[in-house]
Structure 1
Amino acid sequence: MIKVFALRLGSTKVPFGQFYGGLDGWRGARAVLRFATDKKHFIIVPIHAYLIDHPEEGLILVDAGVNWRQTHEHGDYYRGIAHYLFDDDEYQLTRDEELPAALARLGYRVEDVRKVVATHLHEDHIGGLSYLPDAELVISRGEWENRDWKLFGFLPMVYQPSLQAARKITTIDYASGAFENFDASHDLTADGTVKLLPTPGHTPGHLCVLVRLDGYQLLITGDTLYTLRHLANDDVQAFGAGDWVPNQNASIRRIAELRRRLPELVLAPGHDHSDYQFLHLAPGLAKGGLTPEELAGLRAYEETVFTAEGRLQPEAIPRFVPGPGADHVGRVTG
């Protein structure tokens, strides 16, 4: 029996506009400028990874979070343009949230992890590779071939020192044929219970991971969907600096269509900071899977978020509420 666990591997501080401002000018060079200069509209969002315990394939980790040095020695860890673009308190990570501790609470060791699937190569998804030097890193070929790409010619898409922790890297080409409304897929496991689906847009080679469980399927979305609400991308969109942003919107619509075709599909975003993650999804996945009652609770919650047409309910539209402190960290209503 396959199990999937949600792992909270720290948090990150982001501008509200990075998550929700895509319909209001957070595009292209202007988005990068606002990212670097907007210091009064921060929110804290979780960094989630997902651990798959497969009866034949062993442990497969989807994304790896951040590591201790990234968080607590930020200024020394990051050099060059990366140091100036991000704040020293960009990440928060306690000892209990470090990957080795999160695995130990479930009875596993870092040495037990055989594969790490990176949805993409951004820092908050590959920093934890430093804990897993013997694991095989699996990424899409499109992501790997763009690892040296620089936005506007000077902003690196991938911070190479974090990627260097991976000793064995396997790239995939989606050679397993079509799946539902996806033209291509890749069977990560021999029994086809774990599939990789191409969802380019957040990065050129971003992918999602589909896991077939008992009575439902779980789609680990990485940053194609920061949160559940981003499924309604006519109402809210995320930051987009690259030319591939239209691809992200197309990927989101493809996920929405997959959800219509597979009514039992459950979405597992990477940074959802709402009740969807903390009151419904994470508690069920803390024990390795969702019960029928928990699945019903998820569906009931989704009905409070989306209209029948898939738009956001008015009360579910995210709005920034300033915080009381000088750090300008606020919260999101909706």
Structure 2
Amino acid sequence: MITLGGLEELVEEVPDLPIYISRGHWQAFGEHPFLASIEGANPNHWPKSFSPQLVDYEDKPVGPWKKSYQVTSDGKIVLVDTSGHVPGHLAIILYGIDLLDEEQPDGVNDNPVRALESLQKMKEFARKVEVAMLPSHDPSKV
């Protein structure tokens, strides 16, 4: 799941990747390519077969939001309306950093002891500094 930044390259690598866009965002920019260009989402960089899944929020409260869109059946990935930056802007809420809480390194690790130490350091840092942790792989560094 991604937003419009880096879309062309990502779809080239993962052609079946679902792309979610709020209906409000699509109505503001997808239906008006000139406005999208002004906002920096140049349609010339959209994949040729660009067909995003439009998000219609449901009456399912999440935190302060009265409506949300559940991406996964287990509810661990949820979309919410964060309009203001641009019309229909959405944010992704990810639940389930339980592996971090339980100090269980995820996946294959070349050094399990070091992986556990890294998890512990991340937790220690997060206790001392207000942070948003977004663990991920950077495709430009692979």
Q: TM-score range by the shorter chain?
A: 0.5 to 0.7
> 2:129 & 2:49 partners in 1: Cα distance?
39
1:174 lines up with 2:2 in the alignment: no
Q: Secondary structure at the match of 1:295?
A: helix
> Residue deviations 1:223-247, cap 9 Å, x none?
xxxxxxxxxxxxxxxxxxxxxxxxx
Q: Which residue of 1 aligns with 2:2?
A: 117
Unaligned runs of 5+ in 1: 1-115, 218-263, 265-286, 304-334
1:163 lines up with 2:42 in the alignment: no
> 1:149 & 1:204 partners in 2: Cα distance?
14
Code of the aligned partner of 1:126: L
- Retained in 1: the 8 A contact 2:25–2:87? yes
> 1:207 & 1:196 partners in 2: Cα distance?
6
1:301 lines up with 2:123 in the alignment: no
Q: Which residue of 2 aligns with 1:132?
A: 14
Provide TM-score, normalisation by structure 2. Answer: 0.62
Code of the aligned partner of 1:155: I
> 2:49 & 2:13 partners in 1: Cα distance?
10
1:189 lines up with 2:44 in the alignment: no
Unaligned runs of 5+ in 2: 102-114, 132-142
Higher relative contact order (CA 8 A, sep 6+): 1
> 1:165 & 1:132 partners in 2: Cα distance?
14
Alpha-carbon RMSD across the aligned residues, in angstroms, is 3.1
> 1:130 & 1:210 partners in 2: Cα distance?
25
User: Percent same amino acid at aligned positions?
Assistant: 22
Aligned length: 112
User: Which runs of 4 or more aligned residues in structure 1 lie more than 4 Å from their structure 2 counterparts after TM superposition?
Assistant: none
More strand by share: 1
> Residue deviations 1:203-228, cap 9 Å, x none?
212111111114499xxxxxxxxxxx
Q: Which residue of 1 aligns with 2:111?
A: none
Change (3 A) 1:165 1:301: farther
- Retained in 2: the 8 A contact 1:135–1:168? no
Change (3 A) 1:204 1:144: same
